[in-house]
Amino acid sequence: MARRSPLVALDVRRDADRVTELLDGYDDVRRDGPDLTVHRALLDTFDWRIRRAGGALSWCDGTLTWRDRATGHTHTVAQEELPRWPDDVVAGPVHDLVADACDVRVLLPRVEVDLTVQRYRLLDDLDKTVVRIDLERGCVADGTPVASLVVRGVRGYDGEHAGLVRRLAEDLDGQTADGEPADIVFAAAGLEPGGYTGELAVSLEPTMAANEAIARTCRHLLQTMRANEDGVIADLDTEFLHDFRVAVRRTRSLLGASKRVLPGPVRDDFRRRFKWLGDVTTPVRDLDVFSLAIPEYADAAARGDLEVLQPLADLVAADQQQAHAALTTALRSQDYADLVSDWSETLEASPTDEETTEATDPIVEVARQRIWRAYRGVQRDGRAIDDDSPSEMLHRLRKDAKKLRYLLEAFGALFDADRTKVAVRELKRLQDNLGAFQDGEVQSQGLRGFAMRIARRPADVDTVMALGVLASHLEQVQDDARAQFAKRFARFDRSGNRALYEGLFSPKAVR
């Protein structure tokens, strides 16, 4: 069911007792039945994808509601239990909205609260209901009180709704909560909706010392790692590990670019330790990729029949469980605890020695040099690849491109933002091609290993045959990516893109 009506929420935590007296005293307001007790959960992903999609998702005593924050349009569906995954949502508009917003992320009850609801109606001269009013009172998990006055309009009576909101705001000196009741509850729970993002958004000034800028960026990345630790250990969804790994890889890239900014022994020590951390996360991530791809595999090799690939899914799940146990052990180890502690202390201390000759240079100059050098490395290695080059050369170029991408994302805002976005976009096209080549090789090799294990079980002959078809399909994907490489790299290396990099980052760009 969908409806649209104006809605405003007032935070009345300080005035909750007065609200009842005030509403009971209005001549045109009437109580609407007895008080209700409800349980409400506000749902979103860890990285607030529903909010970023413009929605607000709540579950209340068997009803799931999606509210469009911009328009006030709502969709509701009967949902007996809290959904954990988008596919748990009953089919219909709410399911489609949630699935589009969340993709592979698990739904989390960001806040749960028990509320007592007093309901009122605003009546016109003919005793017709023109506005509905709910006073919702309760406490969040830590005991912090929350109280909202939710004023919902009735279609066709927007003027009456606006008038009542003004009257209440004047009488209560309350504050509107962006028209969204959820924001009041989030605030009481100490949550900042949209506060977490896996994006690298660090404020840097061009004149900031290089060691300070790199330390600030690495502190942000360390915070990202720590924010995702619990989700990785609990294995809530695959994106916790993805964001964790990206933060690790970005840190390794910055360490690689911090020569003469950080002391050599410090760089070498942490490059080694972060490489260890990256290595222990790789098996789980590789298996996550397999697991996520199984529906696509079924389409490619079994006409969409997931049952044929169930033995593969079972093997992947078992291997995932073992690999995840090893990763959990690593993240709970003293080695990891020491890495986090030592790295945090190092970033606060910003150590220098006689070799750190660029530590206090402006970050804009150091970043320009590092980005230019990384770009020239991609350009050089890409130009060296021809139709007969071994796959290792493309894999090396993929790593070079990734390092360049991380530097652009970390420091691109120090330069012309619009032109830097173009540089990233062109690089990403090349990376997509190299990634497809790499994935085709890794996945086809992995599938052969799974096929050999499944082949020992005669009952699964159909699965073995499907995996053979699938391995050939993935080899073809890799061959297609290889065939497209020359065209993709030529686009990256065309004169216009070279001029873009030269204008932004070459030594000639320094005035």
Predicted confidence at residue 269, as pLDDT, reads 98
Query: What pTM does this model have?
Result: 0.91
Q: Going by CATH, does the domain composed of 362-511 fall within 1.40.20.10?
A: yes
Asked whether the beta carbons of 424 and 408 are under 8 A apart, the reply is yes
| pLDDT over 80 (residue 28) | yes
Asked whether the beta carbons of 384 and 400 are under 8 A apart, the reply is no
Q: Tell me how crowded residue 22 is: count the other CB atoms within 10 A of its CB.
A: 17
Asked whether the beta carbons of 454 and 315 are under 8 A apart, the reply is yes
Asked whether the beta carbons of 162 and 193 are under 8 A apart, the reply is no
Predicted confidence at residue 175, as pLDDT, reads 53
Q: Which residue has the higher pLDDT, 195 or 117?
A: 117
Q: Which residue has the higher pLDDT, 227 or 445?
A: 227
DSSP states along 327-361: HHHHHTSHHHHHHHHHHHHHHHH----TT-TTTTS
b/e burial code for range 439-471 (CB count within 10 A of at least 16 → b) = bbbbbbebbeebbeebeeeeebeebbebbeebb
**Cα(188)–Cα(42) distance, rounded to whole angstroms?**
13
Mean pLDDT of the chain: 92
DSSP states along 245-312: HHHHHHHHHHHHT-BTTB-HHHHHHHHHHHHHHHHHHHHHHHHHHHHHHHHHHHHHHSTT-GGGGHHH
| Burial of residue 396 (number of CB atoms within 10 Å: 0-12, 13-18, 19+) | middle
CATH number of this structure's domain 2-188: 2.40.320.10
**Cα(176)–Cα(236) distance, rounded to whole angstroms?**
34
Question: In angstroms, what CA-CA distances link 492 with 179, 277, 391, 485, 507?
Answer: 46, 32, 19, 11, 20
**Cα(375)–Cα(405) distance, rounded to whole angstroms?**
9
* Encoded amino acid at 418, one letter: D
What is the chain's alpha carbon radius of gyration, rounded to the nearest angstrom? 28
Of 367, 363, 398, nearest to 381 by C-alpha is 398
Q: Where are the domains of the chain?
A: 2-188, 362-511
The share of the chain scoring above pLDDT 90, in percent, equals 77
Cα atoms in the Cβ-side hemisphere of radius 13 Å centred on 133: 26
Q: Which residue has the higher pLDDT, 239 or 7?
A: 239
Asked whether the beta carbons of 280 and 330 are under 8 A apart, the reply is yes
| pLDDT over 90 (residue 198) | no
Predicted confidence at residue 507, as pLDDT, reads 83
Predicted confidence at residue 1, as pLDDT, reads 46
Contacts of 317 (CB under 8 A, 6+ apart): 291
Q: Which residue has the higher pLDDT, 511 or 107?
A: 107
Q: Tell me the range of 142-156, 292-306, 450-464, 488-502 where mean pLDDT is highest.
A: 488-502
Predicted confidence at residue 509, as pLDDT, reads 61
Q: What is the pLDDT of residues 356-405, one digit of tens each?
A: 999 999 999 999 999 999 999 999 999 999 999 999 999 999 999 999 99
Q: What's the gap between Cα 167 and its chain centre?
A: 41
Rounded to an integer, the average pLDDT of 343-361 is 95
| pLDDT over 50 (residue 451) | yes
Predicted confidence at residue 510, as pLDDT, reads 58
Contacts of 484 (CB under 8 A, 6+ apart): 433
**Cα(122)–Cα(27) distance, rounded to whole angstroms?**
9
Q: Is the dihedral of CA 338, 344, 347, 352 positive or negative?
A: negative
Band (458; pLDDT cuts 50, 70, 90): confident
Of 114, 132, 112, nearest to 122 by C-alpha is 132
| pLDDT over 80 (residue 508) | no
Asked whether the beta carbons of 323 and 287 are under 8 A apart, the reply is yes
Q: What is the pLDDT of residues 315-327, one digit of tens each?
A: 999 999 999 999 9
Band (469; pLDDT cuts 50, 70, 90): confident
Q: What is the pLDDT of residues 34-92, one digit of tens each?
A: 999 999 999 999 999 999 999 999 999 999 999 998 888 899 999 999 999 999 999 99
Of 95, 70, 47, 374, nearest to 237 by C-alpha is 47
